[in-house]
């Protein structure tokens, strides 16, 4: 198919790459405090520690809406078609929101498919190099939602198969495909971020060694 993978750097706010080594100790302070606040407060307080509480709500909101319309389909809407359409629409909205909005706002990552002039396509995975800007509540909410979502749809898929409800089968299948794509996309972005951190650390370690020798 000619699809290539490409990992891309992005630095926010023009922070030079050598700066983090000197600023890191103070940078750890606010993040540590956020962790403590998170463990000792109620769910509303939990959201208050997030840098983007509204975005967190949306990240989980569409998922909750899709789950409710799917699980309680017989009770909320008596019509099968309305259930199906509403659930599919929520699933689609959730996919789009996570891919285009919550990813870049909560954890500073993004992935997409780029079509070049000659027609070949390339998958691009992007992440922030400056990890300190990411709030830990945001990060936890994001990754929890991201990983649990496809698991939920696998469960629903098997439930529908065992119940022999084949008219409802397209929904878990679609849910799994959409959830799985986002999970794989962002996992690839995060792998890229960890690789970059390791490379930067190695690069700086080498420079330090060379600098001390010369």
Partner 1 sequence: MDAPLSSERAVDCIGTLDEPVVDTIMRDLRSVGKKLYYVMLPRSRSEAGAGLKQWDLWGPLFLCLILSIILWANAPENQQEVVFGLVYVIVWLGAVVVTFNALLLGGKISFFQSVCVLGYCICPLVLAAFACLFLPSSIGSIVKFILMLIALHWATGASVGFMSELVAEDRKALAVYPVWLFYVAIAWLILLN
Residues that bind partner 1 (CB under 8 A): 1-3, 8-12, 14-16, 80-81, 84-85, 88-89, 92, 96, 100-101, 104, 108, 110, 112-116, 119-121, 124, 126, 166-167, 170
* CA dist., res. 176 & res. 104, Å (int): 22
Q: Report in angstroms how near the CB of residue 167 gets to partner 1 at its nearest.
A: 5
Closer Cβ to partner 1, 104 or 188, answer by number: 104
Q: Report in angstroms how near the CB of residue 40 gets to partner 1 at its nearest.
A: 31
The alpha carbons of the chain give a radius of gyration, in whole angstroms, of 21
A 10 A CB-CB count for 144 gives 12
* CA dist., res. 95 & res. 89, Å (int): 10
Closer Cβ to partner 1, 97 or 183, answer by number: 97
Q: Report in angstroms how near the CB of residue 133 gets to partner 1 at its nearest.
A: 11
Closer Cβ to partner 1, 81 or 214, answer by number: 81
Q: How far is CA 191 from CA 7, 134, 169, 173, 185, in A?
A: 10, 16, 33, 26, 10
């Amino acid at each position: 198919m000619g699809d290539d993978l490409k990992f891309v750097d992005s630095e926010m706010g023009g922070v030079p790459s050598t700066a983090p080594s000197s600023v890191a100790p103070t940078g750890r302070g606010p993040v540590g405090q956020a962790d403590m606040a998170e463990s000792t407060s109620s769910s509303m307080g939990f959201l208050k520690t997030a840098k983007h509480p509204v975005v967190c709500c949306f990240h989980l909101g569409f998922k909750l809406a899709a789950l409710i319309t799917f699980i309680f389909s017989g009770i909320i809407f008596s019509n099968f078609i309305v259930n199906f359409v509403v659930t599919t629409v929520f699933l689609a909205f959730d996919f789009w929101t996570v891919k285009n909005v919550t990813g870049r706002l909560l954890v500073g990552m993004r992935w997409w498919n780029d079509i070049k002039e000659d027609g070949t396509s390339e998958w691009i995975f992007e992440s922030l190099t400056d990890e300190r800007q990411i709030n830990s509540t945001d990060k936890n909410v994001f990754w929890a939602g991201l990983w649990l979502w496809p698991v939920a749809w696998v469960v629903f898929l098997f439930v529908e198969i065992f119940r022999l409800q084949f008219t409802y089968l397209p929904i878990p299948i679609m849910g799994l495909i959409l959830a799985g794509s986002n999970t794989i996309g962002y996992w690839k972005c995060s792998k890229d971020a960890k690789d970059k951190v390791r490379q930067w650390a190695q690069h700086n370690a080498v420079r330090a060694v060379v600098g001390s020798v010369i």
